Amino acid sequence: MVVSGAMLRAFRSRSISHRLASSYRSLTTLVLAEHEGGSVKASSISAVEAAKSLGQENSVSLLLAGSGPSLKEAAAHAASCHPLVSEVLVADSDKFANPLAEPLAKLVHVVQQKGGYSHIIASSGSFGKNILPRAAALLDVSPITDVTEISESNLFVRPIYAGNALCTVRYTGSYPCILSIRATSFPVTPISADSKSKPASIDQVDLSTFNEDEAVGKSRYIKLSSQESERPDLGSARVVITGGRALKSAENFKMIEKLAEKLGAAVGATRAAVDAGYVPNDLQVGQTGKIVAPELYMAFGVSGAIQHLAGIRDSKVIVAVNKDEDAPIFQVADYGLVGDLFEVIPELLEKLPEKK
């Protein structure tokens, strides 16, 4: 019998997939959660929602790290944030007072060695992107990033080429399978009063095997700079108002902020506007900024570069205002207006009622 190379490769692929499937008969998932102000961030709850798609009978543990009273408050919130969470693991130590990647990646490694999870998931924000690759290196596995759909426990969909194509990936490596997910692709259904379940147990992580010397890296915490604002968070806002370089100055960009205040919206900006110094870079929307999926996305003076469109594709309704009728943003917009934003925005400000 002659066996071709293609047949042999197919046989090996099926054998690997079979071994992987057998090791995943007991699905257990560790979700690395980000918290702030005593609450688990919505993006991390979306990571729990993503774990639901891995399969039935999936036991989910949610890992929180930090120190002080806010960590205890976050743990209490985590215990009832999603019915799928069966256990909250708390690593309370001054080592994790600041979210540095090296000690947190080492913590994931320690927890995985004890728990033997089949999957480790985090949101693909800056928090997850900073930690998961390091944790994957410590565990000697390859992570799968920016997952937008989970078909099976080892079959995933992720965007490539700035979102212009979707790639289906079958994971055939050893466990744990490490994933970062786009939070906007896994919206969380609000928990009704009737469906609320018993809060998950809260357990302390045994840090006796945590070697602090091994976790010390080349980075150190200096300070946290944040802007206090009553506007909703850009990543989870229902309405987002974005301005581009066509606004010409930081002073003119205040028109976008005034419009956002009237609509109760978050403010976003293109990379060109950020690079020009109109607004800080935490407001950047796009492939290298925030990925957003609001119910309403309004773009003023945004041309529609491919990197920007990659960050807004999941928006329910896109409204674009640009004086260039050939701007690429009009190809994806549900509603488009060819006009001068310096005339359109003042007219909107005049006719829109004040937010109550």
- Cβ within 8 Å of residue 310, ≥6 positions away: 159, 162, 163, 164, 286, 287, 291
On whether 270 is known to bind a ligand per the annotation, the reply is yes
DSSP 8-state symbol, 191? P
155 vs 150: CA distance, rounded Å: 6
On whether 287 is known to bind a ligand per the annotation, the reply is yes
At residue 164, the 3 state secondary structure works out as coil
On whether 284 is known to bind a ligand per the annotation, the reply is yes
Rg (CA), the chain: 23
H helices, E strands: number in the chain: 11, 17
On whether the CB atoms of residues 330 and 322 are closer than 8 A, the answer is: yes
On whether 308 is known to bind a ligand per the annotation, the reply is yes
- Rounded to the nearest 10 degrees, what angle do helices 126-139 and 101-115 cross at? 50
- Written as six digits, the tokens of 351 are 């006719």
Sign of the Cα pseudo-torsion (96, 42, 158, 336, in order): negative
On whether the CB atoms of residues 337 and 324 are closer than 8 A, the answer is: no
On whether 130 is known to bind a ligand per the annotation, the reply is no
54 vs 118: CA distance, rounded Å: 10
User: Phi, psi (5° rounding) for residue 77?
Assistant: -65, -40
On whether 306 is known to bind a ligand per the annotation, the reply is yes
On whether the CB atoms of residues 119 and 151 are closer than 8 A, the answer is: no
On whether 245 is known to bind a ligand per the annotation, the reply is yes
Q: How far is CA 18 from CA 13, 14, 30, 169, 268, in A?
A: 9, 6, 23, 16, 46
On whether 211 is known to bind a ligand per the annotation, the reply is no
DSSP 8-state symbol, 173? S
On whether 288 is known to bind a ligand per the annotation, the reply is yes
On whether 260 is known to bind a ligand per the annotation, the reply is no
- Written as six digits, the tokens of 19 are 């071994």
On whether 303 is known to bind a ligand per the annotation, the reply is yes
Annotated binding site: 245, 270-271, 284-288, 301-308, 322
Annotated binding site for FAD: 245, 270-271, 284-288, 301-308, 322
